[in-house]
Structure 1
Amino acid sequence: MAWECGIDDCGSVFGDVEDLVVHQATEHERRECKVCGTVVPDGYLAIRHAFTEHSRAEYVRAYDADAEDVRQREELLEEIESEADMERIATELKR
């Protein structure tokens, strides 16, 4: 399965999800969480932060999101987390 970076108009494609997440964390600007102000890598890690550290209601308010936005991001998290070797991602990001 090919994984495409969905940040802005990047469009870079990767053979595995781990390379995609590392790319997003290292090649794109970090973002400030609109809920708490923490600066996090963009892409998957930003979504993971928002959905694990904050309630869905906080996310909706801070990002002017709707139920469909939440559903899409939850599906993306589930898809990535079912495939990703999180230990490999952590190791790559420590380099």
Structure 2
Amino acid sequence: MWECAIGDCGYATEDAEELLVHQVTGHERHRCAVCGTTVPDGYFAIRHAFSEHSRAEYLRNYEADTDDIRHRETVRRELEAEADVEAVVRQLGGDSRETEATTRA
């Protein structure tokens, strides 16, 4: 079972791809505290943070700790092992860069 962990959403599904679509279409976008890029919240925000920025930048800008990083890296790994992320991106009408980064400050 995949559950949306954005706020107190409560959305749950058996399908990882459905969760990703839900996060992109059902929630406000997230503004990256490191670079100002606006990305879909949830998985795509995690992917952006750890693909585009160092762990140190994440720790500094999100007032996070190493447990926070480990948790988000685990979520990312588990979703990528289960979901066809690129198929979700195509379904949403873009390529992975367009879905991930929509605007920069």
| Superposition TM-score tier, normalisation by shorter sequence | over 0.9
CA offsets 1:18-55 (integer angstroms, 9 cap, x no match):
00011001110001000000000000000000000000
CA offsets 1:51-74 (integer angstroms, 9 cap, x no match):
000000000000000010000001
* Residue of structure 2 in register with 1:51 after alignment: 50
Q: Which has the higher contact order (CA 8 A, sep 6+)?
A: 2
Matched, 1:37 2:6: no
SS in structure 2 at match of 1:31: strand
2: CA distance, partners of 1:45 / 1:61: 20
Aligned-partner residue type, residue 39 of structure 1: T
* Residue of structure 1 in register with 2:5 after alignment: 6
* Residue of structure 1 in register with 2:59 after alignment: 60
SS in structure 1 at match of 2:92: helix
2: CA distance, partners of 1:90 / 1:82: 16
CA RMSD of the aligned region, Å?
1.1
State how many pairs are aligned.
94
2: CA distance, partners of 1:14 / 1:94: 22
Unaligned runs of 5+ in 1: none
What aligned pairs does 1:5-24 form with structure 2 within 5 A after superposition?
5-24=4-23
TM-score normalised to structure 1 length = 0.95
TM-score normalised to structure 2 length = 0.86
Report the Cα offset of residue 84 of structure 1: 0.9
Matched, 1:25 2:27: no
Where in structure 1 do 4 or more consecutive aligned residues deviate above 3 Å? none
